[in-house]
């Protein structure tokens, strides 16, 4: 609960696991996501534009709720380490992943908020 969009499915899986339910993986399953979906995050990254703030608000909510403040901190540090490795690889000819300006800082947007709501979109 409390997610506008993104990470709600992962949070739901955590809740199921805590309730004692088993999860199942079927590699033969296929999912089709029609173009013009409900969010511009993927197209924003391709154009190197900032993903919407609600992406980061949901990410913060998920990590704080399921792993606590330390877990969120470690997830952010992990992202920064991965980005540093990608930049090093780019020096040796490996293509760098699509990263927009400020994306590293955006992971810390909601760091001080209890559940990452400060930058979530307002609801009517």
Separation between Cα atoms, residue 68 and residue 71, nearest integer Å: 5
pLDDT band of residue 25 (cuts 50, 70, 90) is confident
Residue 99 lies in a domain: yes
Range 6-39 burial, b when 16+ CB lie within 10 A, else e = bbeeebeeeeeeeeeeeeeeeeeeeeeeeeeeee
Range of the domain at 107: 69-111
More confident residue, 1 or 84: 84
Residue 123 lies in a domain: no
Residue 19 lies in a domain: no
Residue 16 lies in a domain: no
- Split into its structural domains, the chain has a count of 1
More confident residue, 26 or 124: 26
Residue 11 lies in a domain: no
Range 79-100 burial, b when 16+ CB lie within 10 A, else e = eeeebeeeeeeeeeeeeeeeee
Residue 32 lies in a domain: no
Hey, CA dihedral for 32, 35, 39, 41, is it positive or negative?
positive
More confident residue, 10 or 33: 10
Residue 13 lies in a domain: no
pLDDT of residue 74: 95
Residue 14 lies in a domain: no
Q: Residue 118 pLDDT > 60, yes or no?
A: no
């Amino acid at each position: 609960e409390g997610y506008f969009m993104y990470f709600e499915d992962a949070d739901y899986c955590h809740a199921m696991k805590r309730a004692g339910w088993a999860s199942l993986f079927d590699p033969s399953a296929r999912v089709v996501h029609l173009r013009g979906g409900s969010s511009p995050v993927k197209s924003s990254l391709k154009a190197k534009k900032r993903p919407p703030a609600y992406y980061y608000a949901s990410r913060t909510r998920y990590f704080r709720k399921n792993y606590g403040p330390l877990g969120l901190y470690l997830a952010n540090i992990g992202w920064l380490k991965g980005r540093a490795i990608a930049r090093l690889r780019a020096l040796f000819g490996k293509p760098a992943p699509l990263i927009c300006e400020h994306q590293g800082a955006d992971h810390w947007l909601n760091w001080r908020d209890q559940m990452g709501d400060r930058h979530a979109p307002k609801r009517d």
